[in-house]
Structure formats: structure tokens, C-alpha cells
Amino acid sequence: MNETIFEARDLSRSFSVGSSPLRDFADHFLRDRPPKVLRAVDNVSLSLREGETLGIVGESGCGKSTLARMIAGILPASSGERRFRDEPYESFLARNRDALKVQMVFQDPLSSLNPRLRVGDIIGEAAVLHGLVRRPQIKDYVADILSQVGLPADSMGRYPHQFSGGQRQRIGIARALAVKPDMLICDEAVAALDVSVQAQIINLLMDIKQDSGLAMIFISHDLGVIRHLCDRVAVMYLGRVVELTETEQLFASPLHPYTRMLLEGMPKISLQRRRFMPIQGEIPSPLSPPSGCHFHPRCPMATEHCGRIRPELREASSGHVHACLNIEPC
């Protein structure tokens, strides 16, 4: 249970912004213009244990989706190291059949499912191609997967547009499960769904986790969903992990001021009307993040060295790390 299935070390990803052939051509002549670089993910290290669900939470622009894509192996890293069961990721991904062990579920099933394929083919195609199941058995195989995600077997003859949003997300999950993955990455997989349907999909993911012991990375901006589903949570802000610990611990005693602010801002069903002034300030542009600790301009605890020193992750207690300079070591 405690073995590491996936590990990221100092993982970074930068994008050059506004680059186009024309711009590159112009830049060639206007040498003095520095290229604009966006560091979407900045030196992130984390690990996922077998059978564990790790949540990654943060606001827009914090790099959580870029991180998800790098973990899924569909986006190369700019620097840093990824290892799957102690093997360098690049050599692991190069073996096509093994690469299937990592699967992803996306936010919008309509744009991630081929509209021209029948559901049966969407789900069964990869399994047949990679020899996980022989073509004559494919119908039974797909029917079995469909029943796992709570869809009737006759869905396989229909097209994605004939389903509702929640059902489409089930198809997206079925597609991922069909190749028997060991690790599933869900990027905002329930964000676009209505509350009642969202609950159905969350329950489905919990069932899958229990039945198959799948390791999962669950990316969301919704702390309520994260709290429900995840064993551990990493909080990200502008490309960096600012706090990582067990879910219970994070909600019971958050350390980083940003985590606290997120928890306070989280809408709760309560009869108490919020009267206090929420923390002001905007999320800075990831193109020009503040110096030192990225959070210091909005931080109520900031002191002058916060703008100068980049805080490294440090351990507050066993398994609870944060990146804040002003928290006394205990």
C-alpha cells in the first residue's frame, strides 16, 4: 500500500507566450526583445502511493492542469524528473503497452470523446489494439466495463451526443478503465456537472477506487470535492506547491496562509451570513509572478523578507509540508 507508484522531482514546465512564426521572425530582427516565458509549473515535487488518491487544488493559473498533463505523460516537462514505479518516465512511456497504465479523464467529455465513434468503439478500441482483449470478445468486455460505470449495455451502439453530461463523463471514465490502468488522473472531472450528477460521479470514482485499488490524482478547484475523495492534498499557487499533507490534517489545521484563505473563501452551507471583509487582492498574472514567495502581496502575515526569499517546502510535522517563511518550526 505504501509503495510509490509515481514520483515527480523538481518538475517544471515553461511556455513561451505569444510566439508565432511572425513574432519569431520579428524577434529575429529585434533581438533586444526578451522572449516572454510563463512558468506554469515551477519545481514541483510530489509522489503518489499505490492505491492512494492525491488531490491537487488551486485557483486559475496555479498550474494544476499543466501538472496533470505532465503526470499523464501527454506533455513533456521542461526540466525535472518523473518516475513510474522507479523507472524513468520517458523509457516507461516509450513502451506503448505499459504507457496504457496511466489514463486521464478530462473535464469536458464532449471534447475528449470522438463524436463520430460509437461508444462501444470509443471504449473498446484501445483494448483491442493493444491485445488486452480479442476482437470476438469485445462486446462482452465493453458491456462489463459499461456496467462498472453504471451504463446499460445497449449504450455501446450509440454516439456520445446522445447522452447527457453525466453519462458522457461515465463514458470518459469507462474509456480510461477499459485498458486496465494502474493510475488515473482526473482533471476537473466533475466541475461541469450539476450537483446531483456530480454526486453520482464522485460515488462512482469512490467505487472504482475501492474495487480496483487504482491510484488516482484528482485535480479540482473545489475543496469540498477534494475533501471528500482524497487521502492527501497538495495546494498550489502560481505554479508552486505551497502545502501538502493528509486531507484531514489540511482541513483541521491548515498552516500556509494561502490554504487558510482558500478554506475561508470556500462557500459552505450555513445559516451564518459572512460579514467580515474577505482578503483583498487579485491572483497576480503568472507571466510576472511576485518575487520571493508568490503569495506575499496578498498575505496578511507577510514580512519584508517574504519578497526576497523563495520559500522551500519544509516539514512542520511528519508528512505535513508547507512553503511559508513565517511559520515557526514546531
- Contacts to other proteins by CB under 8 A: 59-60, 164-167, 194-200, 202-203, 206, 221-225, 227-228, 247-248, 251, 261-262, 264-274, 277-280, 282-283
Least separation, in Å, of the C-beta of 21 and other proteins?
23
Run of H or E including 196: helix 195-212
Q: Which lies closer to other proteins via its Cβ, residue 178 or residue 302? A: 302
Task: State how far the Cα of 45 lies from the Cα of 106, in Å rounded to an integer.
Answer: 23
| Residue 264 C-beta: closest distance to other proteins, Å | 8
Tallying the residues shown for the chain, one arrives at 330
In sequence order, the 6+-apart residues with CB closer than 8 A to the CB of 293 are 299, 302, 306, 307, 309, 310, 311, 323, 324, 325
Name the minimum Å distance from CB 274 to other proteins: 5
Decide whether 159 or 251 has the Cβ nearer to other proteins: 251
* Closest by Cα among 123, 117, 183, 122 to 148: 123
CB of 276 to other proteins, least distance (A): 8
Q: Which is nearer to other proteins, 158 or 180 (CB)?
A: 158
User: CA-CA distance, 41 to 54, in Å (whole number)?
Assistant: 17
Nearer to other proteins, 11 or 67 (CB): 67
For residues 191 and 284, what is the distance between their CA atoms, to the nearest angstrom? 23
Shortest Å, Cβ 316 to other proteins = 21
* Nearer Cβ to other proteins (100/225): 225
Taking the CA atoms of 76, 44, 190 and 142 in sequence, report the sign of the dihedral they define. Answer: positive
